[in-house]
Amino acid sequence: MIEAIKEGHTKAEAAQRYGLNIGTVSNFTRELKGHRLQGNHILRQNGIKLLNRLMNDGYLISDFIIPTARNLQRHFPMIISASFIAST
């Protein structure tokens, strides 16, 4: 994992490649110089599914997991939400 990061892969890529949590990778690479803040973000599988739905349909109706949608909004600020009769 450390060699992959030294070769230029991000921490997120190393976490996915070796099936580890991003926090575990960050802990193991904390002392590596020049790699402290690089590649700490990752979109999980549910987020990618929602993003695909949003890109294909242009909208989502509240059958999704709200924290996952909020995480997408943090990465993609152009995603906006609206509420209408108890649906987001």
Confidence tier at 35 by pLDDT (50, 70, 90): low
Beta carbons within 8 Å of 22's beta carbon, 6+ residues apart: 11, 12, 15, 40, 42
Q: Where are the chain's structural domains? A: 1-42, 43-88
What's phi and psi for 84, nearest 5 deg? -150, 120
Q: What's the rounded mean pLDDT across residues 28-49?
A: 66
Burial class for 42, CB neighbours closer than 10 Å (0-12, 13-18, 19+)? middle
What's phi and psi for 16, nearest 5 deg? -65, -40
**What pTM did the predictor assign?**
0.43
Tell me how far apart the terminal alpha carbons of the chain are, to the nearest angstrom.
40
Query: 3 pLDDT exceeds 70?
Result: yes
The answer to whether 10 and 39 are in contact (CB under 8 A) is: yes
